[in-house]
């Protein structure tokens, strides 16, 4: 069951709203009658279609506490309160773990994991004082079913999964709901473009042949790719659902991985994953 389907009068703050899922979700909330605080590192109001009195586009860097506090403060000043926080900002990475620089690992975690924690820490006292609010943390189907060459990215998202599930118990006591949206693979997003500058030289010999075979297998993806609509619908459902549900897999593959992982044996799950994604090339 959902609350007011139009969401009129409610306010959502979305991080990473300049492109991909974040941009699509921001527009969906606007179209549904919500006040939207669309945040990004380089604000651009032209990305959205909406009445100016319901849209606020702000700079927000999730790795900078002052930036977070300024955006939240400006959002509350404009709309009175923030009912929903959507932690969508993130960085992708395709790399062989052995050669991934420590500095890059830290950069991924600073945004994907500690950035989520920082925005949560900033908004929780405000929601707690009001006795209501919803926090939605966007992870990935990779957090359900890890694949090759995304060990660091997957680790950053799995950390958010565990953090969110544990946090959900604490927050229920003060009237705050915590939810997870788990998007599947969606080539239409900016994931590849955003992370490609980071990946140069990160699949060298002896991993290059392995990577090529893996990417070849990915051309025969086992399900339809996730769409912006899949993810925006899941995010909106998480924002308006009145049940105790925690996870919202979004996209055919995310739902398939969830069923495979959670309703079959570990042996069956591993065998199916190796069949679909694990290259047979041996490195060394």
| C-alpha to C-alpha distance for 186 and 226, rounded to whole angstroms | 5
Strand 176-183 versus strand 133-138 pairing type: parallel
Residue 135 φ/ψ region, left for φ over 0, alpha for ψ in the -120 to 50 degree band, beta for the rest: beta
Least confident of 46-50, 134-138, 173-177, 280-284: 280-284
Exposed/middle/buried for residue 128 (C-beta within 10 Å: 0-12, 13-18, 19+): middle
CATH of 11-204+226-261, one of 1.10.357.10, 3.40.50.720, 2.40.50.1070, 3.40.50.150: 3.40.50.720
Angle in degrees, CA 173, 176, 179, rounded to 5 = 115
Query: What pLDDT is attached to residue 195?
Result: 47
Query: Per-domain residue ranges for the chain?
Result: 11-204+226-261
| C-alpha to C-alpha distance for 190 and 7, rounded to whole angstroms | 28
Active-site choice (153, 207, 236, 248): 153
- Is the predicted pLDDT of residue 142 greater than 50, yes or no? yes
Per-residue pLDDT band at 120 (split at 50, 70, 90) = very high
**Residue bearing the bigger pLDDT, 79 or 225:** 79
Give percent helix, percent strand, percent coil of the chain, each to the nearest 5.
50, 15, 35
248 given a catalytic annotation: no
The SS3 call for residue 57 is: strand
| C-alpha to C-alpha distance for 235 and 245, rounded to whole angstroms | 13
Average pLDDT, the chain: 90
Q: What is the pLDDT of residues 222-269, one digit of tens each?
A: 898 899 999 999 999 999 999 999 999 999 999 999 999 999 999 999
CA torsion through residues 77, 82, 85, 88, sign: negative
| C-alpha to C-alpha distance for 68 and 126, rounded to whole angstroms | 13
């Amino acid at each position: 069951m959902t609350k007011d389907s139009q969401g009129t009068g409610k306010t959502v703050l979305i991080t990473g709203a300049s492109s991909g899922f974040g941009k699509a979700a921001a527009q969906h909330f606007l179209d549904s009658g919500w006040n939207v605080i669309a945040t990004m590192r380089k604000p651009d109001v032209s990305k959205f279609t909406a009445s100016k009195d319901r849209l606020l586009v702000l700079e927000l860097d999730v790795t900078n506490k002052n930036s977070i506090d300024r955006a939240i403060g400006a959002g509350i000043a404009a709309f009175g309160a923030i009912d929903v926080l959507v932690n969508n900002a993130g960085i992708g990475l395709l790399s062989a773990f052995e050669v991934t620089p420590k500095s890059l690992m830290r950069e991924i975690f600073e945004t994907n994991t500690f950035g989520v924690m920082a925005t949560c820490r900033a908004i929780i006292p405000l929601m707690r004082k009001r006795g209501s609010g919803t926090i939605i943390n966007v992870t990935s189907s990779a957090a359900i079913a890890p694949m090759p060459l995304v060990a660091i990215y997957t680790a950053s998202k799995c950390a958010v999964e565990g953090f969110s599930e544990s946090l959900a118990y604490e927050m229920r006591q003060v009237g705050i709901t915590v939810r997870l949206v788990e998007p599947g693979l969606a080539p239409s997003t900016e994931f590849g473009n955003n992370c490609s500058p980071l990946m140069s030289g990160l699949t060298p010999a002896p991993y290059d042949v392995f990577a090529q075979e893996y990417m070849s297998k990915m051309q025969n993806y086992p399900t339809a790719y996730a769409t912006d609509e899949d993810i925006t619908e899941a995010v909106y459902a998480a924002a308006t659902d009145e049940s105790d549900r925690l996870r919202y897999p979004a996209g055919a593959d995310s739902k398939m991985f969830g069923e495979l992982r959670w309703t079959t044996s570990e042996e069956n799950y591993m065998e199916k994953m190796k069949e679909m994604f694990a290259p047979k090339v041996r490195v060394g």
